[in-house]
Structure 1
Amino acid sequence: MGGCHSKKVVIPDIETSARCRSMLGSYQSYIQSQNRTSGNSPDSGQTVFSLEHLEICLKEAEEKARALLEQLTASEATKSQLLEKVSMLEGRLEDVNRKNVGGELYENMVLEKDKCIEKLQAEVKASQEKLNIHQPTQWKYSPEVSHLWKKATGSFP
């Protein structure tokens, strides 16, 4: 009975199974008619044994076909789920890429702002230095102007 087991995996369709059964039935009826006409020959025992063997092989093949069909159905469901996950992950990747581009734009904007602030601070410092150079010394020490000077420069000379 071990002769039915094959290492080659083939998924038979339902039609093939039905054809095998009908052929087996035809063969059985043919053999039975031959046995009636020829009587009981020594080959009739072997024929019955080989028919039983073929029936067992057919049942095993049908069981394997059912199991393989179940596996195929399960793998198709898994494939569908994986494709959905891939699609979702691709969407997330696109979102991340868009955010990175937006983040780079924001970083560039912050750098430009920092440069502008540094430039303005340098201008303010230069203006204060010019003011210190051109201001008469009596203004620094007169009581009427000293409080204004203190407010403008933050210090008293």
Structure 2
Amino acid sequence: MLATKSNVLAFELLNEIGNAIMLFPEPMLASWAAQFSAAVRAAAPNLPITISDVSNGNSTIIGKFSDWQRIRRYAPYVDFHVYPAVANTLKPWHTAACELVSDRPVIFGEIGAYRPSRTGAQMADAYETIRQTMIRTPSVKGVIQWATVNNDFGLYDETTDTLQTDIASTWALFPST
């Protein structure tokens, strides 16, 4: 049913599988991924499939890459979650990550910056860093904001439903197609 909706852009088989790798045997996760992938492909042969944040708790780029290699056959898109601790720590790490998986298209399936620990200018800088990384990295095909309405990460304040003006102008610069 979802495959026929124009607003469905992709299917994420398993969200943040890195957490599951620490809880379930890897053969079980591979079996789930294979079953989910086959079912989605049967219903929606042309939509991208992702498995996000592939890491067994090892947050290094090599750890994420080696974990991705083991399950890549089930999801043709690589999906990284991008939450920069500080604006200028993101770009080198994610550019390297995208280069390691350069044979696959990449999406940043969750992006955001933690508002309580930043000034308005730092929030805008964090989003600009994500945007520039996306623009300068040919394998990155798009980004998805983690929370549209959320006080800590969102584009809108959840109490007042107002746009977070410190990031609105930067967010508006992201490509929309």
TM-score higher than 0.5 = no
Whose strand proportion is higher, 1 or 2?
2
Higher helix share: 1
Task: Place the TM-score, normalised by the shorter chain, in its bin.
Answer: under 0.3
Q: State the TM-score, normalizing by the size of structure 2.
A: 0.19
**TM-score for both structures, normalised by structure 1:** 0.20
Higher-Rg structure is 1
